[in-house]
Amino acid sequence: MEQIFRVGIIGAGSIAASMAETVGRMPEAHLYAIASRSIEKAREFQDKWGAEKAYGSYDELIQDEKVDLIYIATPHSHHYEQARQCLLNGKAVLCEKTFTANKAQAEELVALARERKVFLAEAIWTRYMPFSKEIVKMAHSGELIGRPYMLTANLGYPIEHKERIKKPELCGGALLDLGVYPINLAFMLFGNSPERIMSCCSKNELGVDLQNSMTFIYPEGEMAVMQTTARCANDRMGVVSGDKGYMVIDNINNPHTVTVYDTNHKQTGIYTCPPQITGYEYEVHAAMEAIRKGVIEPEDMPHAETLRIMELLDSLRKEWGVAYPSDKL
């Protein structure tokens, strides 16, 4: 029988609850522990989601010999130090997006994971979803939309009031919270080396971006045109256009339906996502598979790709004048 993975979570916030629900429904994983800065909050989370252990400090979980995988679900500003502590204590890490405050921090973590031979991965769920990967295959199949040339993608939620979004010391802003989704989709579709990038943003009074617009131009003429906003809800849609038609992705953050049209706007196909638990199970599967094989990074989101994303985020922020206290730009 295969090992049941004991998953521990750092930070008892909103995404931690989604992960707890997911792990609770995965037969091959077990919600082992929740760690919060407050023991009362940890116990409340434990009661709600059925974790075996509740810790009132993150360190207690990091020191626990029984945990197989630690999922970090705190603000971006805290990922680096928490992941570092996990790696120093030999604990496999699945760390929420955005991976770290900047590329320098990400490089240090990757070097440490290599040195200690411990698994480390960015939990950017769309990179692991079978349906996302299927969408990329469909776009490039040649049969549905011809050759893909243009991605347009939007993502927006009215979340600017949240502490972790509005404050530079928590690495706030729309780019790190939302921008990473269309950027990852653009990289999946057209690769990670756009030749030219044009972008702009508007900021809050603390200096983090609340809305942004980014255009990537690739060497063979493909373009990705993306907008994200932490001020408003928007359609969350992605459209991949090719020379023989286009495909509309209903929600780039968690795609459920892709509708394909020909150049006369006649619907030629509709594809739906096969049943899933929540969509977060795939990153956990990928971590389990890599750990079982003894490799320190997942195939779907290798370290080099996380570093490339971090490099791009650094350069966009530099251009926009969005700085965090933890930056070493």
Query: Which listed residue (53, 91, 97, 103) is catalytic?
Result: 97
Structure tokens at 199: 């972008």
Q: Which residues of 141-175 are buried (b: 16+ CB within 10 A; e: fewer)?
A: eeebbbebbbbbbbbbbebbebebbbbbebbbbbb
Residue number of the CB atom closest to ligand NAP = 13
Judged by beta carbon, residue 36 or residue 241, the one nearer ligand NAP is 36
> Please, which residue, 97 or 236, has the CB nearer to ligand NAP?
97
CA–CA distance from 128 to each of 6, 121, 122, 134, 301 (Å)?
Answer: 20, 11, 10, 11, 8
Q: Is 266 a catalytic residue?
A: no
Q: How far is the CB of 82 from ligand NAP (least distance, A)?
A: 9
Burial label for 27, CB within 10 Å (0-12, 13-18, 19+), is exposed
Q: Which is nearer to ligand NAP, 25 or 292 (CB)?
A: 25
Q: CB 289: neighbour CB atoms within 10 A?
A: 13
Are the C-beta atoms of residues 175 and 209 closer than 8 Å to each other?
yes
- Neighbouring residues of 127: CB distance < 8 A, sequence distance ≥ 6: 184, 188, 283, 300, 301, 305
Question: How many C-alpha atoms does 136 have within 13 Å on its Cβ side?
Answer: 16
Minimum CB separation of residue 164 from ligand NAP in Å reads 5
Beta carbons of 286 and 297 less than 8 angstroms apart: no
| Distance in Å, CB of 261 to ligand NAP, minimum | 28
User: Closer CB to ligand NAP, residue 41 or residue 308?
Assistant: 41
Q: Tally DSSP H helices, then E strands, for the chain.
A: 11, 14
Residue closer to ligand NAP (CB basis): 37 or 114: 37
By CB under 6 A, name the binding residues for ligand NAP.
Answer: 11-16, 36-38, 41, 73-76, 78, 96-97, 125, 163-164, 170, 177
Smallest CA-to-CA distance from 23 within 12, 31, 33, 13 is with 31
Least CB distance to ligand NAP at residue 223 (A)? 26
The distance of closest approach from Cβ of residue 253 to ligand NAP in the complex, given in angstroms and rounded to an integer, is 7
Which positions are annotated as active-site residues? Answer: 97
